[in-house]
């Protein structure tokens, strides 16, 4: 069965711009979680969506937002980009939530100049 897909794989933006990342979960998975991965901070939880509702949110500023559609596909938006937002953004899907086995996508590498 198809895995988690993320688009685009690479993005280069400049400070102040906004960006939207997309994630398509494994068919049948209703939970989608987003993570930011950087060399300094490691993997940090951004938020989780389940059946179009945000169930949990990490400690990130309001510039980071997301949504989930009825087909479980999810998008993440970052507004007013800062240099420190450069990171690998990972999406993970699971049947019930991140406390079960999660399947990660390959990530979107965002570079902010």
Partner 1 sequence: EDQVTQSPEALRLQEGESSSLNCSYTVSGLRGLFWYRQDPGKGPEFLFTLYSAGEEKEKERLKATLTKKESFLHITAPKPEDSATYLCAVQSTGANSKLTFGKGITLSVRP
Closest CA relative to residue 23, chosen from 97, 80, 100, 90: 90
Of 8, 14, 18, 43, the one binding partner 1 (CB under 8 A) is 43
* Number of residues counted as binding partner 1 (CB under 8 A): 23
The number of C-alpha atoms within 13 Å of 97 and in the hemisphere containing its C-beta is: 9
Asked if 66 interacts with partner 1 (CB under 8 A), we say no
Asked if 86 interacts with partner 1 (CB under 8 A), we say no
Closest CA relative to residue 24, chosen from 3, 1, 53: 3
Smallest gap from Cβ 63 to partner 1, in A, equals 19
Tokens of 79: 């507004």
Which residues of the chain form contacts with partner 1 (CB under 8 A)?
Answer: 4, 33, 35, 41-45, 55-56, 58, 90, 92, 98-107
């Amino acid at each position: 069965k198809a895995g988690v897909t993320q688009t685009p794989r690479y993005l280069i933006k400049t400070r102040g711009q906004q960006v939207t990342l997309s994630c398509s979960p494994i068919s049948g998975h209703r939970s989608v979680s987003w993570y930011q991965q950087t060399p300094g901070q490691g993997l940090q939880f951004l938020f989780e969506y389940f059946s179009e509702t945000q169930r949990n949110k990490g400690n990130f500023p309001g510039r980071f937002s997301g949504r989930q559609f009825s087909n479980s596909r999810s998008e993440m938006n970052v507004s007013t980009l800062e240099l420190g937002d450069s990171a690998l953004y990972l999406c993970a899907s699971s049947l019930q939530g991140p406390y079960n086995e999660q399947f990660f996508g390959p990530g979107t590498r965002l570079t902010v100049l």
